[in-house]
Structure 1
Amino acid sequence: MSTQQDTVLQKLRQLPVDLSLVELYPAEEDKAYFCTPLGARILGRIGVDGVHFCDVPSLGLDLVFAVTPMGEAPFVYPVASDLHEFLAEVYTCGSAGSIEQLIGIAPERAADFLRFNRALCIGSDDADELQQAYDFFGMDGFSLPEPGKNTAVCHVLNVMADTFALEPIEDVYAHIQAVCSSFDIKKLSFSDEYDNL
């Protein structure tokens, strides 16, 4: 693990914005799950279903992993080569939770998922697009987001982009899939509970 990773994490934790608006809640080191790799440093969580992101300093790599305790085995997926790249993914998708969802989505649904997810996360002036987003995600009761929420989310994303010089990733779905397939999960160590599954 590099000192650059530590520097990015320190700067992230000091940002004067509410990162929960982009589903990147503060890390709680004591909230590891059975499927959190041993030696993991929890970087943040999305706030539901125990989903969190971590790196594993003992690997000697800066990889960022999504950990999905309520998902399916192997429950842990590499999603970015380092924390800076992970933040670029958040910036591109509009939320950290989107990254975890992209792991298992079918390729033919990825483009619509990203378009409609961004419409819900950062807003859209097109009521038809918002209605399509609600329909795509099977959400009942179409309504406009609470006043100011989308503006606040955009502000957080813009502060992140300015602080870390983030650029959108052109095909973020293919990018995340490539990172997932490039790492052998057997290189990680897990709790006995995980190993006994």
Structure 2
Amino acid sequence: MTVYEKYKKLNIDGSRIGLERGSEIGGYFCTPKGARVIGWDNGIHYCFIRGYGEMVFAVNPETGTDKYVYPLAKNFEDFLRLILACGHTAPVEQIIMWTEEQFKEFLTSDYNALMSGQQEVLDTITEKLKLEPMAAPYQYVKELQAQFDDSKIKFTDDYYDVLGLELPKGRKKKQPEYQYEQVVEISVTRITED
């Protein structure tokens, strides 16, 4: 049984740590092909992508960078350890656009203060899954992102349409599954008797 499967069996309220249950599909223009969503925090979703094993990715349709999809952890166990170190998915997800100073400042700010029920969820993960917080979360995520080649991630046609990008070489745009009927405009003249 994988760590992710063990985590799911805990049946905890993941919304307390930014891993709320929801659709496993995603459905945003930037959700990669083959994504299996494992949690939500507002519009941001976290997923595995077919072909990348247990690597955990963030999908952010309102990103503050030029990346809409980026890795956060080599596997789900490390992802949980990052959350244990930071208290929530939010600071982990935002490492991509922060300096280390900004990251550390956020961790100690009121924005990252523990909410009701959050510590209980973190304690359950620690105790039941026997995990410890990641020692250097900022360095871990930055190193993973620096080494990652995102050019192999596959997207739907919507991704290229929304961003105004050309489709990758050799790929043809799919025709929509629906067809519109041609609209013919008819003008009607009213005839009146004089």
TM interval, shorter chain, is 0.7 to 0.9
Q: Equivalent residue for 1:35?
A: 30
Q: Equivalent residue for 1:171?
A: 136
Distance change in 2, residues 1:30/1:169 (3 Å): closer
What residue identity is the alignment partner of 1:15? L
The answer as to whether partners of 2:91 and 2:103 remain within 8 angstroms in 1 is: no
The answer as to whether partners of 1:84 and 1:164 remain within 8 angstroms in 2 is: no
Distance change in 2, residues 1:158/1:193 (3 Å): same
Q: Equivalent residue for 1:65?
A: 57
Deviation at 1:102, TM superposition (A): 2.0
Q: Equivalent residue for 2:109?
A: 116
**Deviations, residues 45-76 of structure 1 (Å, cap 9, x unaligned):** 11x2x10000113x143211011011143201
Structure 2 length normalisation: TM-score? 0.76
- Report the structure, 1 or 2, having the larger helix content: 1
Deviation at 1:188, TM superposition (A): 0.7
Q: Equivalent residue for 1:102?
A: 95
Q: Equivalent residue for 2:67?
A: 74
* Higher alpha-carbon deviation: 110-119 or 186-195: 110-119
Q: Which has the higher contact order (CA 8 A, sep 6+)?
A: 1
Structure 1 length normalisation: TM-score? 0.75
5+ residue gaps, structure 2, are 164-194
Distance change in 2, residues 1:118/1:87 (3 Å): farther
What residue identity is the alignment partner of 1:107? E
**Deviations, residues 110-153 of structure 1 (Å, cap 9, x unaligned):** 2111222686126xxxxxxxxxxxxxxxxxxxxxxxxxx1xx21
Among 83, 87, 105, which residue is 1:90 paired with? 83
Deviation at 1:189, TM superposition (A): 0.2
Distance 1:73 1:15 in 2: 36
Runs of 4+ displaced beyond 3 Å? none
Distance change in 2, residues 1:13/1:175 (3 Å): same
Q: Equivalent residue for 2:122?
A: 157
Tell me the percent identity: 32
What residue identity is the alignment partner of 1:23? G
**Deviations, residues 91-123 of structure 1 (Å, cap 9, x unaligned):** 11101122112221122222111222686126x
Distance 1:117 1:165 in 2: 28
Distance 1:86 1:172 in 2: 10
SS in 1 for 2:54: coil
SS in 2 for 1:37: coil
The answer as to whether partners of 2:18 and 2:89 remain within 8 angstroms in 1 is: yes
